[in-house]
Structure 1
């Protein structure tokens, strides 16, 4: 083999090696580019998903161990909120509430005891519309402080005591139980008994 042929073969080998190196580098960069693009898309989707989750503040009361206001997320369920307040007390009527319901901001969830009817079925939200019975009486288990304040002999302080008592005891079982509230004696009870219901 003469020198000319050796040089030609050597040149071809170098060219082939160079082409292979270029192609290998090209496909590696392309793969990296695809992987990077996929990662960016996945991160964007995760960010969009997170942005759909909002902070909500809810009030859990009734037949639970530690009634109170909670800060949760819009993805949390009523069961999660009940767990956060320590669970339910004996006698809680879990069939009266929807544990799978997603939490809504500003909502008041009352967990009733068996036999209690503290809110319209499937609603669980206390509002002015359900605090008055069909006879116009104020429901002491669902009324707001403002509504209780309108009762004869009840001021802002007593209204708050009524709410505190019903939260601690899991709701009133009878109208007469109002007399257990600090500040409501026989005279005050007589004045308001015809204006309230449970």
Structure 2
């Protein structure tokens, strides 16, 4: 072989080697994209009175009273179903007492819809929401994802920095980030 042919073969071999190395070390052309959907946290409610198994239960968001009663094993035969609204929508953190037949009930406990603050996304108003500038620790704990520690942190932040101007400012509280904010945004408000 002539010297110029040897050089040409060497250059072509080098180019092929470089192409092979680049092909092997190149990242994959399509990367898998993982989409995460946020599943809403279950609501926690307390059922007492004329149910088979009184206690604290988790129910899916937007459940009705009848759903919670079914989870608790159903009504006792002595339950006064005329005193309650079985179709009433529930709210996270509520306690419901199912009265027994002949039991005196106050007007507020006879109709669950009048004794429970209910938030309905379609017709919700600011008055249905919890004012984070006024709420106590116990009231804040009824919000999804807010336990005693976070509720106390909200109160402490409020004492140090004053009232919240917008609901988004609650994300400045340690322990409350965008995830928690998305869970509670529809349930909170601020008043000046």
Which has more helix, going by share of residues? Answer: 1
The TM-score range, normalised by the shorter chain, is 0.3 to 0.5
Query: What TM-score results when the alignment is normalised by the length of structure 1?
Result: 0.35
